[in-house]
Copies of this chain bind each other. A is one copy, B any other.
Amino acid sequence: MAKVNVSDSGTVGSSVLSLDSIRESLIRQEDTIVFSLIGRAQFPLNSPAFEGSPSLDSANSSSLTEFFVREIEFLQAKVGRYENPEENPFFLDNIPHSVFPTHKYPTALHPKALSVNINKQIWDVYFKELLPLFVKPGDDGNYPSTAASDLACLQALSRRIHYGKFVAEVKFRDAPQDYEPAIRAKDREALMKLLTFEKVEEMVKKRVQKKAETFGQEVKCISDSGDGSEKKYKVDPFLVSRIYGEWLIPLTKFVEVEYLLRRLD
């Protein structure tokens, strides 16, 4: 397997980008995603937060959640968040400069392809399709905490999906001869085929289901002796597996294809 040496900064712990290190990161990110979904599921849907409850400031017509995410992203840019190629903003067109000295992150991605950003699509999918699946309906008025939880979910999902850029880069460097013809032919279908490993996808879906069972259970002081009563979970584990299978994995592969299509530019 090709190893991509990305250490141009002498940074501790980031000397080599390999498919193994990428897998390790994706596995760690599963925990973060499951934690964030469980965190969000504490609150009901609270749709007025993101469906445009009007601001009291007439100059601003966005929903509370959109206002919150826009402003947070601006602030996070000011402490250097988007210098990290793993992070992709939802709203920033022009990323403001950091007011603090920034870390030089390794440049592992192809310059002409690294700007792939499908956060607009992730935003829509999240609020229209995913959220209603895993939270209770209802409105408890607790919008500030809800927006903070939505941000945690959105950023965790976005990081995972855009990690496809690193996956694609390593796979390409590992076997450029396999990818180049399909890239030159702009053959999305062929690229998708090259990037699809059903066995791996099934394993990921099983593992996240198990993580949702483990992290979403009620932990009690005295062990449950298995009295036959049905276990309750904070988020339905099968649903987490579905979210991966129907949205996260396909969107990640979509990013991989988009990246590869620009890989020879």
A residues engaging B (CB < 8 A)?
9, 11-14, 28, 31-32, 35, 38-39, 42, 44, 53, 55-57, 60, 64, 67-68, 71-72, 75-76, 78-81, 83-84, 87, 98-101, 103-105, 138-145, 147-148, 152, 203, 206-207, 210-211, 214-215, 217, 219-221
Contact = CB atoms under 8 A, between A and B. Distances in A.
Contacts of A80: 143-144
Pick from A84, A87, A101 the residue with the most CB of B within 10 Å. A101
A142 B81 CA distance: 8
A99 B56 contact: yes
A11 B141 contact: yes
Contacts of A76: 68, 144, 148
A58 to B, nearest CB: 10
A95 to B, nearest CB: 12
Nearest to A234: B31
Contacts of A214: 214-215, 217, 219
A113 B135 CA distance: 35
A79 B144 contact: yes
B81 A12 contact: no
17 contacts: A12-B44, A28-B42, A32-B39, A55-B99, A71-B78, A72-B72, A79-B143, A81-B145, A87-B144, A105-B141, A203-B221, A206-B221, A207-B221, A210-B220, A211-B219, A214-B215, A214-B217
Pick from A44, A81, A206, A211 the residue with the most CB of B within 10 Å. A81
A211 B214 CA distance: 10
Contacts of A64: 79, 100
A207 B98 CA distance: 42
A117 to B, nearest CB: 18
6 shortest interchain CB distances as A-B pairs: A103-B141, A81-B144, A35-B35, A211-B219, A57-B99, A64-B100
Contact of A12 (B67, B139, B144): B139
A225 to B, nearest CB: 15
Contact of A140 (B12, B42, B56, B57): B12
Contacts of A148: 76, 81
Contacts of A55: 99-100
